[in-house]
């Protein structure tokens, strides 16, 4: 089992920045796919960005150039730096991890039917105009 706890959400104005953190504990895997997903009110959950155990990243088009994923393996923590935030970024943000035994490690993997094994409870991000 893997436990994921997100933090860092909040309310900021458009154009502002936030940094989300995801602390992971429990089992560790040498091969994995981790990522950030979000769900806005009344909408389906969507992938934002993923990172694999080789450090390769994949971003949704909507956040390219504004969001940056990073990880601190020594601290077992995943980060999401969000800059130039827009009202449409308002959502609950979830950290997720997968043992990555199938499919590509990219934001679309849920839509592609592969999903993620472990999920955090989420942290709310609200962007006002």
> pLDDT by residue (tens digit) across 67-117?
999 999 899 999 999 999 999 999 999 999 999 888 899 999 999 999 899
Q: Can you tell me whether residue 25 is helix, strand or coil?
A: strand
Angle at 74 between CA 16 and CA 125, to 5 degrees: 25
Residue carrying the six token digits 């560790």? 28
Residues 15 and 84: beta-carbon distance below 8 Å? yes
Predicted pLDDT at 100:
87
For the record, the structure tokens of 104 come out as 């590509």
């Amino acid at each position: 089992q893997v436990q994921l706890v997100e933090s860092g959400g909040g309310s900021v104005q458009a154009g502002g920045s936030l940094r989300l953190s995801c602390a992971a504990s429990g089992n560790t895997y040498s091969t994995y796919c981790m990522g950030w997903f979000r769900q806005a009110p009344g909408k389906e959950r969507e992938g934002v960005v993923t990172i694999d155990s080789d450090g390769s990243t994949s971003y949704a088009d909507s956040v390219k150039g504004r969001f940056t994923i990073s990880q601190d393996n020594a601290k077992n923590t995943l980060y999401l730096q969000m800059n130039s935030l827009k009202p449409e970024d308002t959502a609950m943000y979830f950290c997720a991890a997968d043992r990555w035994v199938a499919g590509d490690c990219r934001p679309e993997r849920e839509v592609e039917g592969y999903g993620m094994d472990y999920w955090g409870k989420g942290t709310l991000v609200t962007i006002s105009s």
